Chains A and B, each alone.
Chain A
Amino acid sequence: MTDNSFVRTESHPDLPPPVRHTGIIRWMRQNLFSSWFNTFLTISSLYLLYRIVPPFLEWAIFSADLSGSTYQDCTSGGACWAMVRVRFDQFMYGFFPTTERWRVDIGFLLLFATAIPLMIDGIPGKKYLAIFVFAIYPFVAFLLFHGGFGLEIVDTAQWGGLMLTLVLATVTIVVSLPLGILFALGRRSEMPIIRMICIGFIELWRGVPLITVLFMGSVMLPLFLPPGTNFDKILRTLIVMALFAAAYMAEVVRGGLQAIPKGQYEAAQAMGLSYWKTMGLIILPQALKIVIPGIVNTFIALFKDTTLVLVIGLLDFLSIIQSATTHKNWLGTSTEGYVFAAAVYWIFCFSMSRYSIRLERKLDTGHRN
């Protein structure tokens, strides 16, 4: 035994892993440069980003013009947001009289204040909120937007902009949901004639493009009514859009009805419930809950489809922006107009699709049947 002998009494602390296997470097090696092909993809993506993002930011933010009253005032070479700024009120309200615009604000605030809590978990009294949104709110909104009972009447020809887009989308969805449920029930009915009529209706509307349906509303619908009846263009559009959406809604609801196990129907029958009680108390509450994501997706599609009314000359959000960019003061601002419109539509649709995905995850309990 010598003095310089060394016996370890405790274990040496772990060495840190090699630099190449930790932190950001490991992450980059695994995710970006794992093979030559991956490296190639990474480098080309970075190059693509470099070619797209800085020029876009330069155009949209750093060298953009915010003030001015014609396109000639925009001199810095970037986006001419002055156009959006000058026309902003028109984009929102169309030609709604300036003194009455508070009514539109209140109407939509009321909608958001009641519809958004419906989407959040754990808020009490959802049943009453839903009844309000689907049964009472439409009348309140009609009163606010159109007038009557002491409020000045605003002709629907003056409606436009984002307000018209939201009106079209909301009314269509509120009307098409109950209609769609009826058609879905009809399609699964045991009465052959009712089933055939419902199938015919659903497939007819789903087989044709919305534009032909809108044309039908604007040129054919007036012919169907007694000579001399002349009714509102927006109302005609709403009717055909609601019927169109109802066909899609019916297929969504049918998906939910088919997902309910047969035992539920049989149990309800065994309890002696009538058809409507079976449906209203047992089947539909379960089926509708499953198809909420599908309904939201239909709503997103519908929201995007409201832009098609441009073709029949209604001034919705896209259409009013389009006409602003062709005004002689603002010729040359079409890119700005479309980018602004795209941003607004995108925010609406993207947030709704996030909501629908979250719902799907919540409802998906991991069970298959």
Chain B
Amino acid sequence: MALGSDTQGTAPRPSFWNDPNKRSIIYQGIVVLIFVGLAAYFVNNTADNLEQRGIASGLSFLSAPAGFDVGMSPFLTYDASTATHGTVLIVGILNTLLVAITGIVLATIIGFIFGVLRLSPNWIVSKLCYWYIEILRNIPLLLQLLFWYFAVLGTLPSKRDSISLFDLFFLNIEGMFGPLPVPQDGFWMIGLGLVIAIAAIIVIKNWARKRQDETGQIFPVFWTSLALLIIIPFIAAAIAGFPLEFEHPQKNRFGLRGGMIILPEFAALVLGLSLYTSAFIAEIVRSGILAVSHGQSEAAYALGLRPGLTMRLVVIPQALRVIVPPLTSQYLNLTKNSSLAVAIGGAEIVAIFAGTSLNQAGQAIEIIAITMAFYLTVSLLISLFMNWYNNKIALVER
């Protein structure tokens, strides 16, 4: 505090009650006392309650058998007869991450498209985008999820007469079925090809930049990279004898089995989340682009840059600085909103762990605490990553 009295020897010492330092210590002491008192009160009550209701505490329930089916477990074989609550937790976490990542990617793509189209000089397109944004972001997400799940996906045909696309994809009330790629022996060759391609691209990019610095000639890096990215893995696959087979869904008496399946709960959740968030992202992108002053693109044109290059080298890097911080909070929102799967019977952490497991094991405190800790960790990780990205693109000032 600048008011500190020791800096000026002549100033009179304030009385004990008016000394800001002493006051602050007293206030903080009181707050700590209240805080500790409340915490002790809650802990004490909780212990009493748990004892009265005969609920054991601790994390041992994680290894107790769960005995229910989770519906969806793409990364882990889940067997209802042997699974424990710990398995349920892991499946829940993986599914949440899958929903969040798919949702974030889709929402970003849709949001950027609508944000750019919203600024289109075309009156009809711009108005359409305006109404898309205003309708989607002013209707509660839960309502949208219920709508997609019950009113749209719920009207798909029964499993007897599923809609078929080229006899490869089937769509019915149980989900969307498609061929599942199954890697065979020698699949690693394709991976190796991919790694070689990426290494080659990095080398070419550095070489092209160096050459442009020295001679001013521009090398078509993008198209070369694309070609390399396709050709090298393809050659590798040809050498290994195309080590990839597809498992097609088979029709039997109970409907379709095997292959890749996208459950309607997952589809409704991803669709609802990404459309809802895309409306917010579109507004963020629009304001980000508008925040770049018109003079910037005019100056770029005056220097002779083509419109594509102007956009890529001048407008977008500046717009990103405005876009990234609010975009981060939208990503966080999307991740947290994936918990709404509980309302449509999805299979992510809140639905199966904080829902079904909690009902079965009854250990509310541990389960809710673990769920909250998971979300806090994810929030923190996304924030850290986006802060790093934000720092990377931030304006470097002298």
Contacts and interface: CB of A to CB of B under 8 A. Distances in A.
Given A31-B122, A308-B340, A223 B50 contact: yes
A49 interface: yes
A227 B141 CA distance: 37
B24 A318 contact: no
A335 B152 CA distance: 8
Interface stretch (A87-95, A97-105, A201-209): A201-209
Interface of chain B, main secondary structure: helix
A227 B49 CA distance: 5
B123 A223 contact: no
B337 interface: yes
Interface stretch (A65-73, A134-142, A152-160, A186-194): A186-194
B125 A225 contact: no
Given A211-B342, A215-B354, A219-B358, A338 B128 contact: no
Contact of A193 (B32, B120, B122, B138): B32
Interface string B214-226: 0000000000000
Contact of A310 (B3, B343, B379, B380): B343
B375 A346 contact: no
Contact of A204 (B139, B343, B368, B376): B376
Given A191-B28, A310-B142, A225 B337 contact: no
Given A32-B123, A207-B380, A215 B146 contact: no
B121 A38 contact: yes
A264 interface: no
Interface stretch (B8-16, B40-48, B173-181, B385-393): B40-48
Given A227-B48, A350-B134, A220 B146 contact: no
Interface of chain A, main secondary structure: helix
A34 interface: yes
B375 A307 contact: no
Nearest to A39: B122
A209 B121 contact: no
Contact of B125 (A45, A197, A206, A335): A45
Interface residues of A, number: 55
A267 interface: no
Contact of A307 (B124, B138, B143, B336): B143
Contacts of B375: 207-209, 212
Contact of B140 (A207, A224, A269, A305): A305
A5 B56 CA distance: 117
A305 B143 CA distance: 10
Contacts, number: 152
Contacts of A269: 3
Interface residues of B, number: 55
A34 B120 CA distance: 11
A308 to B, nearest CB: 6
Contact of A349 (B125, B138, B336, B350): B138
A341 interface: yes
A191 B25 CA distance: 8
Interface in A306-358: 307-308, 310-311, 318, 322, 334-335, 338, 341-342, 345-346, 349-350, 353
B1 interface: yes
A32 B1 CA distance: 63
B125 A42 contact: yes
A335 B151 contact: yes
Contact of B339 (A38, A197, A211): A211
Given A223-B365, A318-B142, 10 more contacts: A32-B124, A38-B122, A41-B122, A49-B128, A192-B28, A207-B372, A223-B364, A334-B146, A338-B147, A349-B138
5 contacts: A197-B31, A335-B151, A338-B150, A338-B151, A346-B138
The 3 nearest A-B residue pairs measured at CB:
A349-B138, A209-B336, A304-B140
